[in-house]
Structure 1
Amino acid sequence: MYHSVGDCADDPYRVTVAPDRLDAQLGWLRRRGLRGVGVAELLAARARGGGRDLVGLTFDDGYADFVEHALPCLRRWGCGATLFVLPGRLGGENAWDPLGPRKPLLSADGIRRAAAEGVEIGSHGLTHVDLTTADDATLTAETTGSRTLLAELTGGAVTGFCYPYGTVDARAADAVRAAGYGYACAIDPGPLTGPYALPRVHVGQNDTPVRLLLKTRLHRLRRRAAAGV
């Protein structure tokens, strides 16, 4: 689970990875015989009984720096990824982070460019709200509404959803399923773990090869495995 790729000097939420660090992390994966892919590709491979050499890479929030910094790294290492974006904030900024710093989000053209490079585009909701506290109308707009807008924007199917803040409950998961998504990503969903609450591990600037190795092992111990994944 990545977010922004750029300058880490001011990063109170630890959501930024420098381009050279991302490059090193992807290189570490490749040297271990692993390849980063989008989540839909990973799930499809696992459904066929394969995919043990694949790792799902996700980038949340749709920061504009994805096109400038992340795409070249992915290209260099032959990796794919899923980019979860906010169609209700196209060309906007991360206003949901009170401590800042303000970071620009991708425009429609930026999302189309990422899609043209083979990146899977998924929804992060419309505007980055906590779905577990949303009323019914907001919940529908953030799930169904965002999927419709992204399908129109990209001209392709939108099968993936990512819960803002990683928070999910049964009501939010049901809404995502009803909206027509094929899967959804969370962080540590506990008993809800499954295709509509996939657990992920945060990767940040401080994650050296040793830390990455520890995280891959601890992830299996701390988070329930999703059946069939």
Structure 2
Amino acid sequence: MRRAVAALHAELTRYGLVAWTAGNVSGRVRRPEASGDLVVIKPSGVSYDELTPESMVVCDLYGRVLDGGLAPSSDVAAHCHIYREMPQVGGVVHTHSPYASAWAARGEAIPCVLTAMADEFGGPIPVGPFALIGGDEIGRGVVATLRDSRSPAVLMRNHGVFSIGATPRDAVKAAVMCEDVARTVHIARQLGTPVPIAAEHIDQLYDRYQNVYGQR
């Protein structure tokens, strides 16, 4: 998991989702219930080109450092709250990708006007509440927004994107797709009013993509 999480940070820079040392990826290490799961997360304030498997920080589900010589991400409490409250989640990603963050700055959900959105998000990409950084308030907002949504991504108001997945790679994919559709829908709105997709068609597209598309 250290190797996987370290390597996935390169995807955030590859797709232009982060600037400087902002943003982070984490992954859940599942263990027997008596032992408790672990979280592997990016260290705080370390440049992306300096990240290695050894520099990743290992915490328990309450953010207490168990292994690693560096301090964990300032978002560790948010990540850990998501893992505690959403046991199906195996990976969490946070970015300040520009187009998606612009929607977050407006406090506006991204409407489902593209088949790619229906495929990946099953509807609009919702907006979560404003929350201060450092504690679990952000995590609480993410969980409250996504618990009853098919979307694996949320725009936290005035902040940026949090995405979740069954694996860290799935969460990274959701962050990449979130920025891609945020950009396209923004362009569409410069041309006029985007045409929404009917709810029944969204359901059909989502079911096909999630259950038929790709290799099985």
TM-score for both structures, normalised by structure 2 = 0.29
- Which protein is richer in strand relative to its size? 2
Q: Which has the higher contact order (CA 8 A, sep 6+)?
A: 2
- TM-score, length-normalised on structure 1? 0.28
